[in-house]
Structure 1
């Protein structure tokens, strides 16, 4: 009986765990289509993003993307506000985390001006430029450099 309980517990833990590489891969194409946005949202929602600033910010990003596909104005506003709140809370928890700054920059540089969520674009852009070479993880460094090479914030 104990073995069965342990086995079921392991299945549950593995089924709900999502690794950061998967989230990053989905993030890359999340804004391309509604289906990609939905998959990104569902995946980030499955993560245990509470008390994990990076996963929380990715979920916030997914919420802001869902806002662009919402049918009702109040849903758009609600999704966007919730997403923005998660992103800002993550950055408040880890202000020097380059991945969090990248996420906020990606949201702010593509958010409609009416949201008034654009005040950190230059600061985040400078932060990424000044710190990308200091990243110790080769995968994260490549990921952020890839973002910088395709982001409209760096191509203006």
Structure 2
């Protein structure tokens, strides 16, 4: 009787713990779509707000906060929302300088941020970091998602920001 009780408790607790986890590959995959899909952005933002624990999850929380600014109508609210996400992202990066996802997120935000926001100084640093380190990302699916994003972005990049063939080859490893 006692054994069954503990087995049942174990399964209940492990189910609760599993449901509380964030599917980071889904969050990564949705990231490029959420800029145009308000409902997806809102759902992922809520998921991250309630459960982001790791540095990577906190980084994507910041990214979705920034994306959420795109879905706001009031320019002052947009700016405030952008700054909230930017400040969170910079804070997480300052504590986790070697996190690949964080450099990817900052690179993507700075690549797409309007120039009047003056948030672009780390693009080349992050680009070079990604070229050197993407292969170290433990998640194969994560590598594929980020590489695809970078490769597709290359078509509208200019100057030093363009990934060369050699850099793309390094990123694809």
Whether TM exceeds 0.5 here: the answer is yes
Are residues 103 and 154 of structure 1, via their aligned partners in 2, closer, same or farther at CA, if it must alter by over 3 Å?
A: farther
Greater CA deviation, 86-95 or 137-146?
137-146
In structure 1, C-alpha distance between the alignment counterparts of 2:7 and 2:130, rounded to whole Å: 48
Runs of 5+ in structure 1 lacking a partner? none
Match of 1:148 in 2: 150
Q: Which is bigger in relative contact order (C-alpha 8 A, separation at least 6)?
A: 2
Are residues 135 and 14 of structure 1, via their aligned partners in 2, closer, same or farther at CA, if it must alter by over 3 Å?
A: closer
Match of 2:73 in 1: 71
Deviations 1:18-37 (A, max 9, x none): 22122222213111222232
Q: Considering only CA atoms, is the larger Rg found in Structure 1 or Structure 2?
A: 2
Match of 2:23 in 1: 19
Q: Report deviation, 1:8.
A: 7.1
Answer yes or no: is the 8 Å Cα contact 2:29–2:145 preserved in 1.
Answer: no
**1:1-156 superposed matches below 5 A:** 12-49=16-53, 52-152=54-154, 155-156=157-158
In structure 1, C-alpha distance between the alignment counterparts of 2:26 and 2:131, rounded to whole Å: 25
Aligned-residue CA RMSD (Å): 2.6
Deviations 1:17-65 (A, max 9, x none): 322122222213111222232223222223233xx21111101111111
In structure 1, C-alpha distance between the alignment counterparts of 2:155 and 2:104, rounded to whole Å: 11
TM-score scaled by length of structure 2: 0.74
In structure 2, C-alpha distance between the alignment counterparts of 1:56 and 1:153, rounded to whole Å: 29
Answer yes or no: is the 8 Å Cα contact 1:148–1:154 preserved in 2.
Answer: no
Runs of 5+ in structure 2 lacking a partner? 1-5, 159-173
In structure 1, C-alpha distance between the alignment counterparts of 2:147 and 2:130, rounded to whole Å: 9
